[in-house]
Amino acid sequence: MSKKPVPVSKQESKSKRQMVKEQRLRRQRQQRLAVVLTIAGIALLLTAFLVAPTIQRALEPVGEIVPITPVDRPQPNGTALGDPNAPVLIEVWSDFQCPACRIFAQEIAPQVIETYVASNQARFVYRHFPFLDDNSFSKESDQAANASMCAAEQNRFWDYHDILFANWNGENAGAFSDKRLEAFAESLGLDMQAFRACFRENSYKSQIEQDLQDGIRAGVDGTPSVFVNGVMLTPGKVPSFQDVAVAVESALGSGN
């Protein structure tokens, strides 16, 4: 014999609805937490992937440093050489990680300096154009420029310029890690307390950025880019000594 169903009270019905609602909220919270944890895990993995090579390089020994013998240059003043009132201005936009810049600095610039700068016919200025590390986490171009300016603060820019190019061994390969950049300064006998303070504070960041922006406005899109009295020489290739000489002689002859 069937029994008449016992009616559910309003209180009991409300309680069941409340339980269902709470269960639904718990599931939603759990789903949100799972999504957050998944995103956080992916972020940690990406960070580890990006940072691990830098940490590894930081833990590596400095390695061998190629020494240099300082060279006498005419009237060094910061990143410039020669008479400020010389009739011709030679400007070189360069990245210390650039292999073509190394060739120009070691093989061509010395001839230009000896021929025209030492004779007060031209002034020679190095301009920073650090761009080869734009897609690198280590920022070796920027940090090399930063370090060179801290050496310039101690009137040793050109010696530091030389030791950078002497120790180049590839782009973004660790040759210009922070540890090695400091070791270069130490090998040159710089005041390391002053150098480290300057280097770690990136004291010349705005000046380096100004060089970069000036270069872009002048049409620089690669390095080395050499200008004589504001005119770019041989875009797209490294100018030879003859290329520079022709431009300088033309400027001297025309008085422009």
Residue-wise pLDDT for 67-84, tens only, equals 999 999 999 999 999 999
Range of the domain at 48: 12-59
Residues 130 and 168 both lie in one domain = yes
Q: Please list, in sequence order, all residues whose beta carbon lies within 8 angstroms of the beta carbon of residue 122, skipping any fewer than 6 positions away.
A: 82, 86, 87, 88, 89, 90, 112, 116, 248
Strands (DSSP E) contained in 183-246 are: 225-228, 231-232
Take residue 23 and report the two structure tokens written for it.
Answer: 């269960």
Pick the range with the lowest mean pLDDT from 15-24, 52-61, 74-83, 222-231.
52-61
What integer pLDDT is reported at residue 26 of this predicted model? 80
Residues 136 and 215 both lie in one domain = yes
Residues 101 and 154 both lie in one domain = yes
Helix 178-187, helix 157-166: angle, nearest 10: 120
Domain assignment present for residue 69? The answer is no
Residues 97 and 41 both lie in one domain = no
Quick check: pTM over 0.75? yes
Residue at 237: amino acid letter: K
Residue 169 Cα distances to 55, 99, 166, angstroms:
20, 9, 9
Q: Which tens digits make up the pLDDT trace of 235-253?
A: 989 999 999 999 999 999 9
Residues 180 and 93 both lie in one domain = yes
Residues 180 and 149 both lie in one domain = yes
State how far the Cα of 20 lies from the Cα of 26, in Å rounded to an integer: 10
Q: Is the model more confident about 7 or about 185?
A: 185
User: What average pLDDT does the structure give for the chain?
Assistant: 89
Domain assignment present for residue 73? The answer is no
State how far the Cα of 180 lies from the Cα of 66, in Å rounded to an integer: 11
Q: Is the model more confident about 39 or about 134?
A: 134
Take residue 217 and report the two structure tokens written for it.
Answer: 């406005």
Tell me if the bond preceding 99 is cis, omega within 30° of 0: no
The CATH number of residue 186's host domain is 3.40.30.10
Domain assignment present for residue 74? The answer is no
Residues 184 and 127 both lie in one domain = yes
Residues 36 and 108 both lie in one domain = no
pLDDT-based confidence at residue 57 (cuts at 50, 70, 90): very low
Q: What is the mean pLDDT of residues 51-57?
A: 51
Residues 42 and 87 both lie in one domain = no
pLDDT-based confidence at residue 9 (cuts at 50, 70, 90): low
Q: What is the mean pLDDT of residues 203-211?
A: 98
Residues 46 and 86 both lie in one domain = no
State how far the Cα of 238 lies from the Cα of 104, in Å rounded to an integer: 7
pLDDT-based confidence at residue 43 (cuts at 50, 70, 90): low
Please tell me the total count of domains within the chain: 2
Domain assignment present for residue 204? The answer is yes
Residues 42 and 96 both lie in one domain = no
Domain assignment present for residue 237? The answer is yes
Indicate the burial class of 26 (C-beta count within 10 angstroms; 0-12, 13-18, 19 or more).
exposed
What integer pLDDT is reported at residue 135 of this predicted model? 93
Say whether 124 sits in a helix, a strand or coil: strand
